[in-house]
Structure 1
């Protein structure tokens, strides 16, 4: 059986061979990872384990604090920031569980935008086709798991930043209920909407990492949660518009398989809530308004180094909005969250495509600003519902697709463990 150290060395060798053109990772912790791998192997020889994550190769998004170094969050501006005094809460928990932290993965600047490009550190090519976008903002995370340079990658999700790259790179991505996993030591975008979650090759891998980060026991995925009688809500309407035919066909095929296993498909309309949320955030999104407060100083004085205009533009516009616009949006969101929760009592999960499109080419996004804006809107449209309405959600790769796309399952606030058990059963069906 391969040792953890051997597994790590194979990955480090791959990364060394492309070091001159590395865009997936922004930092490697080769020596610290070797020490952690050796410690895990020694525990295994002594028949001791720190739990199911022990010896797992984990990468972390470049917005989590690691003691002694600046947290750059995908930006040149943060290179000169004061070094972190301690590890982020989730980094500390991962280490205590025996995870081998190999490095930090690339991301879009300040975790803004869904395309996955970064003008400072390069754009990681999609794991399936390097000419295509990785999806963002956890771009390197999605590619790293998809290409096998980490077993699990930890990202953040404010509007879909875990699930979009998971879907486009053909891996599993889990967005937990916000605030279940501590945000301490994670560079923020939106205190209201941010959540921290894993990307992995299976639901089980994500469930283990999520449990460690949340300080919980993993859900009992070995006890199948039968799909027979499960109520699956399909919110056709706004969230299904402009869906690529390949994505639509794969989604319908997945649904048919779930239905054959005895699940009950239920038409459920949430278009009224989506329209209300769009109206409430028309002047500025909650993420942009909260992000504008975080970045208020340089937005007021001008940045000392270049900032991606796709990031600085929306933040600058949001910074101009009066405080009542923000307070009103938050208050309206509170009412809509409660109303959505009430409506979702009629189903166990919602099912919809994670993204209505597959990954376009990096070149097409750079060449056509109008197309880029349209694609970004489509990439965020379905995933952001879970953040806006304070839900939990997971993206599973749909089988038999030329380019990857995801099946997204969404559950009510706090139903994370149940969602993971349902997702594990759906995964068995899709993979089988």
Structure 2
């Protein structure tokens, strides 16, 4: 009997057709920039044949995956959310992560919308359109992986692959109510992905649960033998609440949800104590006084693509790129050296079984109508970036989990020790189960 005849386990083909129907609905406007209906159908049929033969390629075989518009997919233009890159030639080869997904049997359904060059965090795009927040379409979805998060929550994909340079996976996960994981840099190859910042770029998944993020990360990072996620036991780790400036300006509902979650976790047997990362934040502030890596490094990417002028670039993006162009080479070297010292220093702040915890974003998803004025846009953009970008600058794995709230989504962010990605995911799984369990 084939897998397609078990009604409790729909076939890959059936699930794909349902996803394609959702993508074709009016509510899916501006979520995808390209849909690979034909190739995804072939991939789904092949996955069903492997399932029927009992020869699946692994836990992602037959799972539907969307990829952000900054990834190379053979035969398509990598426009990266920008009108000025639409005239590039179609690429001839998949990005390395897309190759790994296909090799694992994943069904690559299409490319998702993003902010221009991945250079803002609210999810807006004046060139290709802005997908509404899936919890309230009048609100921002979060970015830069905006279409990615919507594709997962609206059932257009099981898993979405995004990029995270300053929170671009975790911010949309927080504002829209999903799980988003950013790995330590170097574990997942960035070749074949548009580079906002060669220093800070990372690639990771958005999904509805921690286990799917774990399974996807294993594929993306090229682990040969996939394993199932085993959640950490409550008594084997400690959460350190990163009190201080990263709690400033938080909405009362965000603070309330965070503190309620801490109390719930304590009742679940987790060890929690207050702590501080202020010394590391001082190092981050020293870098910011000089400049930001994305504003400097994206200019090099654009020049490598033959773009010499910024005409046609969103003015809100352009002003940040132009600011980076004014940073002296000697100052850029100082930024690199300060960051390297900060990374080494921060590694000594906590042990392998200690994880910092704080709100992912200090606010919930803002109304799109509140972003029309440039000043308001830049203020809110900086606010949602503030907490997540610390993990990029300090090169730590980090994950955002949705808190159990009835209103607009709120994210809980964990920051783990550098290179301890697997342990962070095990801890995140324990926290997820505790938060989801009945009181």
Q: Take 1:373 and 1:89, find their aligned partners in 2: how far apart are those partners?
A: 33
- The answer as to whether partners of 2:101 and 2:219 remain within 8 angstroms in 1 is yes
Q: Which residue of 1 aligns with 2:160?
A: 153
The counterpart of 2:401, out of the listed 393, 396, 409, is: 396
Deviates further, 74-83 or 96-105: 74-83
- After superposition, the Cα gap between the structure-2 partners of 1:346 and 1:67, relative to the gap in structure 1 and judged at 3 Å, is closer
Structure 1 residue 283: deviation in Å?
A: 2.9
Counterpart residue number, 1:316: 322
Inter-partner Cα distance in structure 2 for 1:82 and 1:297:
14
2:410 corresponds in structure 1 to: 405
User: Which residue among 9, 14, 33 is the counterpart of 1:6?
Assistant: 14
Q: Please, which of 72, 84, 107 is the counterpart of residue 77 of structure 1?
A: 84
Structure 2 partner of 1:95: 102
2:219 match: secondary structure:
helix
**Correspondence 1:424 to 2:429:** yes
**CA distance in structure 2 between the aligned counterparts of 1:28 and 1:78, rounded to whole angstroms:** 19
Q: C-alpha separation between the residues in 1 aligned to 2:39 and 2:307? A: 40
Q: CA offsets, 1:24-67, max 9 Å, x none?
A: 00000001011111111111111221100011010000011011
Cα shift at 1:147: 1.3
Q: How much has 1:291 moved relative to structure 2?
A: 1.5
Q: Which runs of 4+ in 1 moved over 6 A?
A: 297-300
- Contact conserved, 1:167 with 1:406, CA < 8 A, in 2? yes
Tell me how far apart the structure 1 counterparts of residues 304 and 220 of structure 2 sit (CA, whole Å). Answer: 32
Matches of 1:17 and 1:220, distance apart in 2: 35
Contact 2:176 2:409 in 1 (8 A): yes
TM-score after normalising by structure 1: 0.96
Whether 1:280 aligns to 2:284 is: no
Q: Which residue among 349, 374, 380 is the counterpart of 2:385?
A: 380
**Quick one: distance in 2 between partners of 1:411 and 1:339?**
14
Aligned mates of 1:270, 1:208 — CA distance in 2: 30
Moved more, 204-213 or 9-18: 9-18
Q: Is the 1:219–1:421 Cα contact (8 Å) retained in structure 2?
A: no
| Paired residue secondary structure (1:351) | strand
Aligned position for 1:215:
222
Distance 2:278 2:353 in 1: 16
1:17 to 22, 25, 42: 25
Checking the alignment, whether the CA contact within 8 Å between 1:246 and 1:401 is kept in structure 2 is no
The count of residues paired between Structure 1 and Structure 2 equals 428
The 10-residue stretch of structure 1 (231-240 or 77-86) with the greater mean CA deviation from structure 2: 77-86
Return closer, same or farther for 1:391/1:378 CA change in 2, 3 Å cut-off: same
- From the superposition, tell whether residues 377 and 122 of structure 1 become closer, same or farther in structure 2 (CA, over 3 Å): same
- 2:39 alignment partner, SS class: helix
SS at match of 2:378: helix
**Alpha carbons of 1:302 and 1:365: their partners in 2 closer, same or farther (altered >3 Å)?**
same
SS of residue matched to 1:267: strand
Aligned to 1:228, what secondary structure does the other structure show? helix
Shift of 1:219: 5.1
Contact 1:127 1:144 in 2 (8 A): no
Structure 2 unpaired stretches of 5+? 1-6
2:134 to 117, 127, 130: 127
* TM-superposed deviation, 1:83: 2.0
What's the TM-score once normalised by structure 2's chain length?
Answer: 0.94
Match of 1:32 in 2: 39
1:348 corresponds, among 323, 336, 354, to 354
Q: Is the 1:207–1:219 contact (alpha carbons within 8 Å) kept by the matching residues of 2?
A: no
Alpha-carbon shift at residue 220 of structure 1 (Å): 4.0
1:254-285 deviation line (CA, Å, top 9, x unaligned): 11122223322222211122122112221311
Say which SS state the counterpart of residue 344 (structure 1) adopts: coil
1:236 maps to which residue? 243
